[in-house]
Each structure stands twice: as structure tokens, then as C-alpha cells.
């Protein structure tokens, strides 16, 4: 059964939280092979996960705090 893009993007997110069933995994991967939009979503999701992991480990670049600038305006 072919899944919709909405269902596949949900599965991509779910895969970060739990192990997908074999059927879910196969249908997701099949859809990703054919759908560039969902492949992009999956790629961006993986990038964000890695960036947040690096940030949590203290390896990310520091983001400047501009709160003083905002208070002066």
C-alpha cells in the first residue's frame, strides 16, 4: 500500500521516537525513493536532529544573546 506524503513525514518523525515495524519501514523507504519532497523532509529532519544533539553536547556554535540590544530599542 502506497502511503501519502503526510503519512510518510509522520513516519519519519515517529522513527526518531520509536522503532518502526518492518511494514512501516519498507513503505516509508519505498515512498522516499520516489518522492523528492519527502526525501528533503527526511534529510532536513536528520540535519536538525544532529544539530540539536551537537548543541546539547556543547559542540555547537554559541548563538549571540542580543537581549541587551532589544531592551535599548
The pLDDT value recorded for residue 28 is: 95
In a domain, residue 66? The reply is: no
pTM of the model: 0.70
Per-residue pLDDT at 9: 95
End-to-end CA distance of the chain: 56
Count how many domains the chain has: 1
Name all contacts of 26-32 with Cβ < 8 Å and 24+ positions apart.
Answer: 27/1, 27/2, 27/3, 28/3, 30/2, 31/2, 31/3, 31/5, 32/8
Report, as ranges of residue numbers, the positions in the chain whose pLDDT lies below 70: 1-2, 60-73
Task: Identify whether 64 is part of a domain.
Answer: no
What range does the domain containing 54 cover? Answer: 5-59
Would 24 be classed as within a structural domain? yes
pLDDT at residue 20, rounded to an integer: 96
Is residue 9 situated within a structural domain?
yes
Interval 35-55: pLDDT, tens:
999 999 999 999 999 999 888
What pLDDT, on a 0 to 100 scale, did the predictor assign at position 43? 95
Q: Which of 31, 11, 30 is nearest to 19 (CA)?
A: 11
The C-alpha cell of 40 is what?
A: 528533503
Amino acid at each position: 500500500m502506497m502511503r501519502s506524503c503526510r503519512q510518510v513525514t509522520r513516519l519519519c518523525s515517529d522513527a526518531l521516537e520509536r522503532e518502526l515495524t518492518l511494514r512501516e519501514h519498507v513503505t516509508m523507504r519505498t515512498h522516499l525513493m520516489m518522492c523528492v519532497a519527502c526525501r528533503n523532509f527526511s534529510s532536513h529532519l536528520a540535519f536538525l536532529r544532529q544539530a540539536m544533539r551537537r548543541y546539547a553536547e556543547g559542540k555547537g556554535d554559541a548563538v549571540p544573546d542580543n537581549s541587551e540590544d532589544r531592551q535599548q530599542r
